[in-house]
Structure formats: structure tokens, C-alpha cells
Chains A and B, each alone.
Chain A
């Protein structure tokens, strides 16, 4: 955002866009619930390295999503949405997120599913997420001047970092991740 004027009224996206968001959100919540990742024991089980459902869901989504998105992008049908790499903020934020994930037992998306399927404790975690977002906003002037400057690489993709052509990297990476999925299926109970 180039300047700091703040619109006083809430911005609302156009209705068709919001309708699409609603349909996609319904599908997302439906899939996550069927995948068992709204369950406290499945999520904590992943962090205890006992239940690998989360890793299987995520890795499969990454392989399928990656192949499709990069194909669509190659034919100029979609835009990529890349967030900047800021090593300090990614690491510190990532560790804080993980610690909170273990305490709460749900993450921001799966908490919504947990609440939807009748796990009422998720509501208090979601209230904590709102409170934490506020605390971050209070600190955001400071974090922008400090932590977010540490190791700022801008928008960068793995193939750029390794000086490989995107297409080559996508194929190789899809095969690697698939091999990991096969190993997970072979050596884990769930």
C-alpha cells in the first residue's frame, strides 16, 4: 500500500466474488472434516509423530495443487500469489505459531472446522486467535522496523533459489514428494 490513508468505511468485495468464496469455503470445511483434521487427536497426533494424517493430506494437496497451478500459470490462466520471504520473521513467527498450535490443538482453518463439527473448545482458541491478532497489530509498527527486516529476500521461489527452470523443478519436486507420501503410507500406522 503506497500511502497511509485509511478508508473509514469497511470495504466489501463484490457479491459474486463473495458468493464464490462461500462455496469454496463450504467445500474446504467439508473436505477438512472428512479428512479428520478437525479432530484434536489427529492434529496433536501429528505433532507427537503418531498419526500422519495431516502430513498425508498436506503433501497430497501440495503435489496436486502445485502441478495444476504451475500448468495453469504456464498458460497464463492464473496469477501466482507470492508472499515475501523474510527469514527472521518466517522462523520466529513459525516457531511461535507451532508452540501455539500444540497448546490449542487446532490451527486457524481446522479450528473453524472443529467448531463446525461441535468441538466447543475450539471457540476459545479462536477467541485467542482474535486477541493475538490484535496484539500483533499493536506491535506491528515495531516488527516492521525490526524483525521483518532480518533476512528480507523479497518474493522468491525455491527454483529461483536453486537456479533451476520452474518446469523442471516442479516435475522433480512432485516426484520427490510423491516418494515421501509412498514411504509414509508404507511405514506409518495411520
Chain B
């Protein structure tokens, strides 16, 4: 029951968010902020070729979300080993340092290398577009990002993947599940983003 009440409070607070912004600020325009350094077609083709390589050399599709499940499993085993091992998801997917785990850790470093070499390292706590809409409160951003992360992870695990695993690797294999999931990613995302930034 207590958890239900907490969840209700969180959802209530998130529902107030668009209202707060609508009173405080103009609707956002994303094009006022910096775009990509390289052509999206060059990058897209590069990711396509990268997926050939990961399939050929590693027998693995590109994916990201299960990394977070692995981390949660490791933390769980640290504090409640038997309980963690009793959960259906971790029985089916025992936490391990596997290909996808190191892949995502390396993704962080790859982002750093690209940003530093391109003079795009930001070193900022809040994205400027967020500040223009919701103000300078870091606490507000932390709560919203954390809450969003929870919803996104539950969704990814239920749907079976994220924008990488379904959105790129699954769709390019013409997987029906992935096309349904990615269309729903955008339906849910567009609806909530419009409420937050356009109202």
C-alpha cells in the first residue's frame, strides 16, 4: 500500500509538471539549440555497418537496456542475494559481465572521445532547453529524469528492448515485435513531450 501511495504521489507530481511550465515559459523550439556535428546519414550508415560487424564478429546485436538490468542485479545480489536470485527475471537472465555490459560502458567513453575531439564537451548539470522551460532547479530535473528512467526501464524490459535493441537491431532484422515497440516508443514519447514542452 505504501508503495502504491508513493507511486500515486510521483505520478501526480509529474502531471503538474506541464502546468508549471505552461504558466512559466513559452513553448519550446528545439531548433534554437545546437544540432549534430556530422550528417545524420553518415552516422546512420556507420551504425548500420557497425551492426554488420557486431553480428559477424561477436554474434551479438547492438543493445543497451539490459546493461541497466545487469547493474540492478549486481546491486541486488550485494544486499539481498537470495531474494535477487529468486526473481523470475534474474533466473531467466542471471546478471553477468557480458558483451553488452562492456559495450555500454565503452559507449560512455566513445561519447567522451567524440565530444572532446569535436570541442563539444558540455560539462553541464542542466540542458539549456530544459532550463528555458523548467528553470534552474537541479532537484526538479533529478526527480523528473529519475522518474522517467524508472518508467523507461520497466517499459524496455516489458517490451523486450530499447531504442537500440528494438529500434535499430530489431527493426533492421524486420522483427515484428521491434516495429510494434518502436512505433509505441514514439507514440508515448510524442504525447508526453508535447504535454511537457508545447502546452
Which residues of A line the B interface, CB within 8 A? 1, 4, 6-8, 10-13, 17-18, 20-42, 44-45, 47-51, 53, 56-66, 68-69, 72, 77-87, 89-105, 107-122, 124-141, 143-144, 147-148, 153, 155-159, 161, 166, 169-170, 173, 181, 189-190
Contact = CB atoms under 8 A, between A and B. Distances in A.
Contacts of B43: 31-32, 34-35, 37, 57, 60
Contacts of A6: 85, 90-91, 94
B60 to A, nearest CB: 7
Interface of chain A, main secondary structure = helix
Nearest to B52: A68
Interface footprint category on B = 35 or more
B185 A97 contact: yes
B152 to A, nearest CB: 3
Nearest to A103: B148
Contacts, number: 578
Contact of A124 (B37, B71, B142): B142
Nearest to B44: A60
Interface in B84-119: 84-85, 87-92, 94-115, 118
Nearest to B194: A48
Given A29-B106, A66-B174, 6 more contacts: A29-B113, A57-B44, A60-B48, A72-B56, A103-B151, A190-B31
B142 to A, nearest CB: 5
A34 B118 contact: yes
Given A41-B33, A78-B55, A47 B186 contact: yes
Chain B CB within 10 A, most for which of A45, A103, A140: A103
B92 to A, nearest CB: 5
Interface of chain B, main secondary structure = helix
B193 interface: yes
Contacts of A8: 85
B20 interface: no
A190 to B, nearest CB: 5
B175 to A, nearest CB: 5
Contacts of A44: 28, 30, 129, 193, 197
Nearest to B125: A120
A31 B38 CA distance: 9
25 contacts: A10-B94, A26-B107, A27-B50, A31-B110, A34-B37, A50-B30, A65-B47, A83-B175, A85-B180, A93-B160, A94-B185, A94-B187, A97-B155, A97-B184, A102-B148, A104-B145, A108-B65, A108-B162, A112-B104, A113-B107, A125-B146, A131-B149, A132-B150, A132-B153, A133-B154
